[in-house]
Each structure stands twice: as structure tokens, then as C-alpha cells.
Amino acid sequence: MKLDKYIKTALALGADDAVEFHIDQIIFDSRTILKCMFGCSDWGFGHTCPSRNGSLMPWEYEKVLRNYNRGIIIHSRDKKISQDVSFEIERQAFVDGFYFAFSMSDCACCEKCAGFKGVHCANPKKARPAFHSVGIDVFKTVRQFNLPIDTLKDKNDPEETMNWYSAVFID
């Protein structure tokens, strides 16, 4: 079964792009943990990041995620849209009988993560780990599909576009 239904839904919900992937097209690289540990201000605070107590490490996520065969990658220029679309696709796939459907995206549920206040997550049913925080090389992965992604040279430059990626693993 093709995942066209979910791709159409993602686009209708506001995604800029949505493409089907096969698990062999997901590029895993455990070095992503270095970018999390030594480049992300959420490290040690975010409820969905690998610094959370009990979180799997990237090499453990890879073992789990390789049990899936396919899914869709969602691209948006808006972080919240990326998360909302991926979560809705997960919900629809679950209702359609894909009970292991699982979405991943940078969390945009709250203006400021409750983890920074030292309290429990305000949206534990919706918060998911980011596509990149689970050991996936998002750059290499999405470039296979000719999706836009570049490192930002100056995040304050209005000419530069931030691209947000999420994924829904469906099986």
C-alpha cells in the first residue's frame, strides 16, 4: 500500500512537502548526539531530547526504528505546522490500523518547554523526539528527495529560510 493518502493529508494541512520513504532511505548516524550535547540550548531541559532521564540513545533508536518499513517525511517552513501535521498523520495511521505509527518532530507545543522550569511536560501525549535527535542525519536523508535544507549562515537574515522536518514511521 502506498502512503499517498497521508501525503495528500499532510499537504492539505499545510506542509510544504511530504514524501514517502523506505527505511533504507533513512540515514542513521550516531554522531547526531554530539550536536545535541554541544550545540543545543535544550540539552538537559527538554522532555523530548536525548538528555532526558531514561531516553534512548541514537544507536538504540536506530535498532527500534529499523523495525519499520516505511513512512513519510514532512517539510514545513513553520515548526508548529511540522509538528501538528506529523502528529495528525500519526493519529490517522493509527486509526487506519497502523497501531505502531509514530511521529517525530521538534516540539512546538509550548512557548517555553516546562523542562526549563523543572516540571513535567505539559503535553506528554503530543511531545515527540525531534527527527534529528534520534540519530538520523536529516541533511543526507532529505537531500535524497531533493527537499530544501541548508545550514543557516545568519538566523537573523530574513533572506534565509528555516526548514523544519518531521517524520511519521508507519507500519
Beta-carbon count within 10 A of 149 CB = 15
Predicted confidence (pLDDT) at residue 111 exceeds the cutoff of 90: no
Give dist(CA 44, CA 47) in Å, integer. Answer: 9
The span from the CA of 123 to the CA of 40, in Å, is: 21
What's the rounded mean pLDDT across residues 73-79? 94
Q: Model's pTM, two decimal places? A: 0.89
Q: Name which of 103, 88, 118 is nearest 169 in CA terms.
A: 103
Contact 106, 138 (CB under 8 A): no
Query: 1 pLDDT exceeds 70?
Result: no
Quote the mean pLDDT of the chain: 89
Higher pLDDT, 17 or 112: 17
CB atoms inside a 10 Å sphere around CB 55: 16
Residue 141 and residue 61 in contact, taking contact as beta carbons nearer than 8 Å: no
Hey, what's the cell of 93?
A: 495511521
So where are the chain's domains?
A: 4-170
Integer Cα distance of 129 and 121 in angstroms = 13
